[in-house]
Amino acid sequence: MDTTHSSPAGSGGTEPVLQEHFDATIARDRRIEPRDWMPEGYRKTLVRQIAQHAHSEIIGMQPEGEWITRAPSLRRKAILFAKVQDEAGHGLYLYSAAETLGADRADLTERLIEGRQKYSSIFNYPTLSFADVGVIGWFVDGAAICNQVPLCRSSYGPYARAMVRICKEESFHQRQGYELLMTMMRGTEEQREMVQDAVDRWWWPSLMMFGPPDDASPNSAQSMAWKIKRHSNDELRQRFVDMTVPQAEKLGVTLPDPELRWNEERGHHDFGTPDWDELMRVIKGDGPCNAQRMERRRTAHEEGAWVREAATAHAAKQAVRAEKGAVA
Amino acid sequence: MSDDHVYMTLAEGHEDDTRWAYGTGFEDPLHGVDTAVPDGVDAGELADLCVTLADDALVSAQRLAEWTTRAPELEEEVALANIGLDLLGQARLLYSRAGQVDGTGRGEDAYAYFRDAGEFRNVRLAEVPNGDFAFSIVRLLVFASWRLAHFERLTAHRDPVLAAIAAKGVKELAYHRQYAAEWVVRLGDGTEESHRRTRKALEQVAPYLGELFTAFDARDEVVAVLRQVTEAAGLPMPVYRPLPGSGRTGEHTEHLAPLLAELQGVARAHPEATW
């Protein structure tokens, strides 16, 4: 799927020369910028990855967005409202990064709602209590940070720069989530049970956020070579587990994995195997909330069509008026 | 590894700031303002005024929050959330002020979560459902214009706390009004459908205008804005048809109770909990 077949696009120089320049730029850890020549496979892989990331931000607003109107204190309401708004902002600048590669936001949105492009499988799970808001911040934003911090060094300039800003905000979100859980754990017995229940439900799906195991991840090698991706799925997953275990201890919750234990020899935690069949089912559209998430996005898009058309029509009329004014 | 810095420090040493949260507490607009009730100000009246203004803001913020993940474009997703957050921030400051001066020492959440619909004093314009984007935008234009006029007046209030809250709010409300006005012009001028929907929205908002002007007479300011915007949008001015009753005296539409049931449900299910 990711071929290195080169495009004739670009200016100056023959293709082998351009390819050589591109390879040297990657080798020197320099950034590729929008106007630089790049192999078509590199461009396609990036568009796919950035679009998927943008879609994830937008679909990811839904599970937590459900709780803004129900947040149990005004302070939590403000924090959550601001967080979900940040995700819309992240979606916006990621779509902009994709547009620097020649993609079009409206087209990418169509691909999403037609199911031709994916978003992170984690958002196909339901949010059943307010503790889920905290656990999503801790696990899901935490896993996103593990995935994304290395992407601040991605070889593609606009993506790398978008990631710097996004990671800063994600780290606030993660801290807010963890702080909510800390507060809940100091509250009533019922609240502590809510937190543990949410941890039980979100742990395994969070581990799946890093993607399939390395030996079953066909696109990874090329992306690593292009420095679009900087660490393998399994490396990132291990890092997430190692970092989360002490945080769980401090919080006073149990991670739902009987095989989880420190391995002195490896210097890492051993942990159980996620249910990869479940991941595949969710990716293929059969998770608990896939249909609901897509339906919401599709409805918002369709019901907003008349608004977008009105804005376009008004802008066109204004342009004509300005022209007439200039002539007169 | 430097990559991990952000995550690694998560569980370390934030004991001193357990109530910490980004963007929701650093800027205190009341910093340095004397919170004692000044001589000659009736504390009961001041508290009532603060609760009333807070109720308007909270109920409006709740409706704006309902747009989340349903907005017609991502830019509107961000803008509507911004406006909702501004209003939520205003509500929090105003409830806190009410709790300081009404002698109960209640916190903001006591007002928001533990009063019933009949005790809320918001105008009905704020509580009616969102409808389509045209209705929400026309409602926002009217609400922001009216509240802005009121807040401009309140910047000279004898209570320095309320005056400071109003001064902060004026800047926010001016943006809300501007945002809504631009959209009404786009929608009125845009397509046949957007024009029809916006015209209908103006008709639907009209019955709620009278109540606003009874609560705070900003008729001249609001009419001037509506006249200017509808003219630019090629829309007719709404015909004024006042509804009987007023949210200011606790007479609400059937829409407020369900709105509050959603807003208050979790908090009321766990009255002993801390969040």
Residue B109, chain A, CB below 8 Å: the answer is: yes
Indicate yes or no: CB of A167 within 8 angstroms of CB of B6.
yes
Indicate yes or no: CB of A178 within 8 angstroms of CB of B11.
yes
A1–chain B nearest CA distance, Å: 30
B268–chain A nearest CA distance, Å: 8
pTM of the model: 0.92
Of the partner residues B72, B78, B88, the one whose CB lies closest to the CB of residue A77: B88
Of the partner residues B71, B75, B193, the one whose CB lies closest to the CB of residue A306: B193
Q: Would you state the pLDDT for residue A4?
A: 42
Task: Say how far apart CA A116 and CA A266 lie, in whole Å.
Answer: 41
Task: Say how far apart CA B20 and CA B256 lie, in whole Å.
Answer: 32
Q: Give contacts of B112 with chain A, Cβ < 8 Å.
A: 74
Indicate yes or no: CB of A310 within 8 angstroms of CB of B191.
yes
Closest residue in chain B to residue A77, using alpha carbons only: B88
Q: Would you state the pLDDT for residue B112?
A: 98
B149–chain A nearest CA distance, Å: 25
Residue ranges for chain B with pLDDT beneath 70: 1-29
Q: Which residue has the tokens 């005004």?
A: A74
Integer CA distances (angstroms), A178 to A175, A185, B131, in order? 5, 10, 36
Number of residues in chain B: 275
Indicate yes or no: CB of A239 within 8 angstroms of CB of B274.
no
Backbone region of residue B250 per phi and psi (left: phi > 0; alpha: psi in -120 to 50; beta: other values): left
Within 178-197 of A, beta carbons closer than 8 Å to B belong to: 178-180, 182-184, 186-188, 190-191
Domains of chain B plus CATH, in order, are: 3-14+37-269 (1.20.1260.10)
Q: Is the dihedral of CA B104, B108, B110, B111 positive or negative?
A: positive
Q: Are B260 and B120 a contacting pair, CB within 8 Å? A: yes
Q: Give contacts of A188 with chain B, Cβ < 8 Å.
A: 270, 272-273
ipTM rounded to 2 decimals: 0.92
Per-10-residue mean pLDDT for chain A, 328 residues long? 43 80 91 94 94 97 98 97 96 96 96 94 97 98 92 92 91 94 97 98 97 83 80 94 96 98 98 96 94 96 98 97 83
Residues 6+ apart with CB under 8 A from A179: B14, B18, B20, B21
Indicate yes or no: CB of B65 within 8 angstroms of CB of A150.
no
Q: Give contacts of A186 with chain B, Cβ < 8 Å.
A: 274
SS3 B153: helix
Q: Would you state the pLDDT for residue A15?
A: 85
Q: Give contacts of A239 with chain B, Cβ < 8 Å.
A: 4
Of the partner residues B21, B76, B186, the one whose CB lies closest to the CB of residue A179: B21
Residue B186, CB half-sphere, CA atoms under 13 Å: how many? 19
Q: Would you state the pLDDT for residue B8?
A: 53
Residue range A67-106, pLDDT digits in tens: 999 999 999 999 999 999 999 999 999 999 999 999 999 9
* Stretch (H or E) spanning A276: helix A276-281
Residue A30 φ/ψ, nearest 5 degrees? -90, 165
Q: Give contacts of B8 with chain A, Cβ < 8 Å.
A: 243
Structure tokens at A170: 């994600």
Of the partner residues B68, B77, B191, the one whose CB lies closest to the CB of residue A68: B68
Within a 10 A sphere around the Cβ of B254, how many other Cβ atoms?
A: 9
Closest residue in chain B to residue A306, using alpha carbons only: B194
Q: Would you state the pLDDT for residue B202?
A: 97
Indicate yes or no: CB of A68 within 8 angstroms of CB of B75.
no
